[in-house]
Amino acid sequence: MAEVLSAAQDTRFIMEPFDVRCSQFRDGLPDATYLSPGSHNERLEYFADRVFSGQLRSQWTDQYNHARRPIRRVVKDVRTVALLGWFLSRYPAMPTVYVLRHPFATAWSMATLGWGTHGGLLDESTRLDRLSETERKILVPQAFLAEVTRWCVEQERGLRHLDPSVYVVFYEDLVANPSTGFAGIADYLAARSAAWKNWTPDPATYSRPSATSVRRAAPETAQDWVASWQGMIEDATVEQAFAIVQEFGLDDVYGLNSTPNLEAGELWKRDR
């Protein structure tokens, strides 16, 4: 999605600035797990101000940027969902697009790619000998459940402070109907920022593979894409994962189906 937006002429793409691989983290990560709106954290404030004002430059964040004299910027980040309320409080005029994807799809991807929990063991480049199939059958479900828990912790904090100023996008809806999805994003950005008023999404960019994609083989249909986790996880593990989602009170958002239970525009009205 960030690449479709940054395909707009004179648009700078800032790639995941809160990733530890950003060179600005030489002195350690700022405390960025969760802050309530209005809370103060000097290091995070300094770093976030540099990010969203466009002052931050690094090899990591600018690796996909092609704009030499940008008039707008797109900041993509996947590690600061829990800081959504804090960001909205500190940068109330900043257009914010919040993307959610099914926790099981997210966790399955993380676990099988060797990211996150047990990543040092499951990653194909591990220094250990390649895991046996028996070992993988033990570790992958554990990693999957841990990543579902992480998803719930982060999203619960993000949703806690969601308000109508944020444009919510369900990943599954965007995959199923990109034209409608990106048209909605374009309307939102134009209404929130003069810099985006004349931008129209380029349909040719919808099907272009992402520069950050690690998918080995793309599913044939949108439904296959969003449901790629189904049938890959044992029923008992799925039941455990759904119990975790229920405990966090997020089962009204996502359940056992591959698509969300709510309309994206209604998400901020939740009572939980």
Query: For 187-201, what is the mean pLDDT?
Result: 95
Q: Three-state secondary structure along the chain?
A: CHHHHHCCCCEEEEECCCCCCCHHHCCCCCCCCCCCCCCCCHHHHHHHHHHHHCCCCCCCCCCCCCCCCCCEEEEECCCCHHHHHHHHHHCCCCCEEEEECCHHHHHHHHHHHCCCCCHHHHCCCCCCCCCCHHHHHHHHHHHHHHHHHHHHHHHHHHHHCCCCCEEEEEHHHHHHCHHHHHHHHHHHHHHHCHHHCCCCCCHHHCCCCCCCCCCCCCCCCHHHHHCCCCCCCCHHHHHHHHHHHHHCCCCCCCCCCCCCCCCHHHHHHCCC
Is the whole-model pTM more than 0.75?
A: yes
- Tens of pLDDT, residue by residue over 61-97, are 999 999 989 999 999 999 899 999 999 999 999 999 9
| pLDDT at site 245 | 98
- Tens of pLDDT, residue by residue over 215-265, are 556 666 777 778 888 888 899 999 999 999 999 999 999 999 999 999 999
Residue 134 has pLDDT above 80, yes or no: no
- Tens of pLDDT, residue by residue over 161-182, are 999 999 999 999 999 999 999 9
Residues 6+ apart with CB under 8 A from 104: 144, 148, 229, 233, 238, 241, 254
Contact 245, 260 (CB under 8 A): no
| Domains of the chain by residue range | 1-94, 97-163+214-272
Residues 6+ apart with CB under 8 A from 105: 171, 226, 228, 229, 258
